[in-house]
Amino acid sequence: MISRYSFGKPFETEALVVKIEATEGKLPFFRTDGEGNYYYDFDDKDIVYGLGEQIRGINKRGWTYTSWNLDNPHHHEDTHSLYGAHNFLLVDGKELFGVFFDFPGKITFDIGYTKRNEMHVYADRNDMNVYIITGDNKKDIVNQFRVAIGQSYLAPFWAFGYGQSKWGYITEDDVRRVAEEYAKLGTPLDSIYLDIDYMQDFKDFTVNPERFSDLKKLAESMKEQGIHLVPIIDAGVKIEDGYDVYEEGVANNYFCKNEEGKDFVGAVWPGKVHFPDFLQPEARSWFGEKYGELTKLGIDGFWNDMNEPAIFYSEESLSEAIDAVASLKGKNIGLSEYFSTMGTIQGLSSNPKYYDQFYHNVNGQMVRHSDIHNLFGMNMTRAANEALCKLEPEKRTLFFSRASFIGAHRYGGIWQGDNLSWWSHILQGMQQLPALNMAGFIYIGSDTGGFGADTTEDLMLRWIQFALFTPLFRNHSALGTREQELYQFDSCKAMTEMVKIRYALIPYLYSEYLKAVINNDMMFKPLSFEFDDEESKCVEDQLLIGNELMIAPIYKQNASGRYVYLPEDMMLIRMRKYDDYETEQMTKGHHYIKVALDELVFFVRKDKAIPFAKPAKSTSELDLNSLGRLGYEGAKYEMYMDDGINPDVSATLKRVEI
Ligand code: MIG
């Protein structure tokens, strides 16, 4: 049961797809002062799940989290905000309920940080809808919430293949080389990503003609090899006379305005930019249709970046900073001046004050950006998705975004942003998955191998052994970091075997993905969502995948194994290659399991089995008609399959028993 409690004048975020009448009467579970403060008292053992992309574990108790979409490459333990705002929580303990704070501005969740046994949720304004969801169990509550926020975005089947990306593929030859090297190595590959380097001067929907002389031809020749090119699109539009996107945006008032009613100027990769006002439906369809210029060239997937929106500086703040630095010229600078100057420079990027300086036109009303900040990225991806549904109605286009709000899950997936090549970030990325599923995001994944910092061969192997279970399985890294395509490493063969295992698992992973989308379920669950025992509640580094598998990845340097908790008897599968593996019956309880660097270990749940394919060089060549099985003798598996491309899933959906 879902009830809405309405405070002040809430902004319509469009997070929900159903209209729920506001309930008169007192908000249950929380104490509230009517000014945007909500308090909940915990028992010692209460657990809080949710908050989507936020850092710090599956159980959110013990830290404070702020929903404020931020270009934040520091996914450190003391971070408060990343790229998404997913204000849905589930409290499990003395009471069981879900709560969604439907609020598009800044809102903070102090979950036992100030006071260990108190949750304090607060926003700067109390104009919001609070939804309380009660139900039989955690899965039921999540399911009810998911129904209310609408069916999740459906990715094409090919998007389950392996993808290679790197900020710094400067020319089309770089792209061709990636394809060639992987072909030589025999690694399956379905996509190569184009980062900002393909654009002309970082202008959206342009292609640099010197470095990518014929994108259409390149896309065609890649398609022949089963490879999709997936270009990036940034939120900011370069200010440049003669550039059609800029000129049309100005002429039609499609850009965000400053207080004087002029187009707001920020700076990102192209230098000075305007930001499309994605809250205007006309601006959305205009910007969305621009994606068609690339689909005409054979492109069928996009990733939307910098859409928090990230702002490197504003004209005013940059000139202030330059003056501050200039005023120090020739002086003997002491410690405090040094640090305050450094602070001024560092504070230029995505400074909160910029977001007070521009406005959206919402049905003729000027709405300050900071009041609805967390809706911006969502509406960019919505623009792209809605336009492509019209331009290419016969097929699914791949979309994933960096910034998001609940509701964005209907328009695309997300990737988890600029992680680092750190061991702890394997775990971090994994812990985000169930909470993202709760918020509706199912097509998800983090940069495999790590984005920032230099990866290592062993980190890469371990990361692949985890990431091969995530819908988005993409190797991506930052400009200037160590090259991490698999062929850069001595263990490229072992890595390739892991990618092949991924392809063998695709029938299962895609089927569980479809189930999660169609039935509004979670694909990644904490153990405690299926098992009631006290120990399952504490497990932070294992996950259930679909209804059949459990994973317990290795995320520590030089570890030759790890402890695993089995909440029931399970079958261990130890694989070196898709056709070279052993199985072992394990009993419920704690075990130490050895896992060599070139082995993949995962578990099939008791009396269950999964389909298993023969790998192929791309998803288009996977033979789904002759599937093998892994798991318990006699167990049945209901497999969901469809043609992987028709946007209307029910048109081609089949459920077969395997
Ligand atoms: O300021 O386009 O998260 O994936 O490679 C960095 C360059 C901008 C951030 C994205 C990252 C991408 C990078 N972008």
- Per-residue pLDDT at 217 exceeds 90: yes
Q: What pLDDT is attached to residue 188?
A: 98
Q: Whose CA is nearest to atom 11 of ligand 1?
A: 418
308 Cβ below 6 A of ligand 1: no
| Centre of ligand 1 from the C-alpha of residue 611, in Å | 36
Mean of per-residue pLDDT scores for the chain: 97
Whether 100 contacts 30, CB under 8 Å: no
53 Cβ below 6 A of ligand 1: no
Atom of ligand 1 nearest to the CA of 451: 4
Across the range 405-419, mean pLDDT stands at: 98
438 Cβ below 6 A of ligand 1: no
Which is nearest to 397 in space by CA: 643, 647, 575? 647
- Model confidence over 6-53: pLDDT tens digits? 999 999 999 999 999 999 999 999 999 988 999 999 999 999 999 999
Q: What pLDDT is attached to residue 369?
A: 98
Across the range 595-614, mean pLDDT stands at: 98
Whether 443 contacts 132, CB under 8 Å: no
| Centre of ligand 1 from the C-alpha of residue 87, in Å | 25
- Model confidence over 47-91: pLDDT tens digits? 999 999 999 999 999 999 999 999 999 999 999 999 999 999 999
Which is nearest to 604 in space by CA: 615, 612, 595? 612
Q: What pLDDT is attached to residue 179?
A: 98
- By most ligand atoms within 8 Å of CB, the mutation choice from 233, 306, 307 for ligand 1 is 306
Tell the residue number behind the tokens 């399952």, with chain if given.
Answer: 536
| Centre of ligand 1 from the C-alpha of residue 421, in Å | 15
232 Cβ below 6 A of ligand 1: yes
| Centre of ligand 1 from the C-alpha of residue 305, in Å | 7
Phi and psi (nearest 5°) for 562?
Answer: -165, 165
Across the range 397-418, mean pLDDT stands at: 98
Whether 439 contacts 463, CB under 8 Å: no
150: its two tokens? 């609408």
368: its two tokens? 């300050």
- Model confidence over 234-278: pLDDT tens digits? 999 999 999 999 999 999 999 999 999 999 999 999 999 999 999
417 Cβ below 6 A of ligand 1: yes
- Model confidence over 333-345: pLDDT tens digits? 999 989 999 999 9
Q: The pTM is what?
A: 0.98
- Give the separation between CA 287 and CA 282, rounded to whole angstroms: 9
Q: What pLDDT is attached to residue 332?
A: 92
Whether 189 contacts 175, CB under 8 Å: no
196 Cβ below 6 A of ligand 1: yes
Q: Whose CA is nearest to atom 6 of ligand 1?
A: 306
Across the range 88-112, mean pLDDT stands at: 98
Atom of ligand 1 nearest to the CA of 418: 3
- Model confidence over 554-602: pLDDT tens digits? 999 999 999 999 999 999 999 999 999 999 999 999 999 999 999 999 9
- Model confidence over 458-509: pLDDT tens digits? 999 999 999 999 999 999 999 999 999 999 999 999 999 999 999 999 999 9
Q: Which residues pair with 267 in a beta bridge?
A: 272, 313
474 Cβ below 6 A of ligand 1: no
- Per-residue pLDDT at 158 exceeds 90: yes
- Model confidence over 524-533: pLDDT tens digits? 999 999 999 9
The answer, yes or no, to whether the previous bond of 309 is cis (omega within 30 of 0) is: yes
418 Cβ below 6 A of ligand 1: yes
195 Cβ below 6 A of ligand 1: yes
Binning pLDDT at 50, 70 and 90, where does residue 315 land?
confident
Q: What pLDDT is attached to residue 34?
A: 84
Which is nearest to 506 in space by CA: 546, 544, 533, 462? 546
- Give the separation between CA 549 and CA 606, rounded to whole angstroms: 9
Q: What SS3 class is residue 639?
A: strand
Atom of ligand 1 nearest to the CA of 447: 4
As a whole-number percent, the residues of the chain with pLDDT over 90 amount to 98
3-state helix, strand, coil in the chain (%, to 5): 30, 25, 45
Atom of ligand 1 nearest to the CA of 417: 3
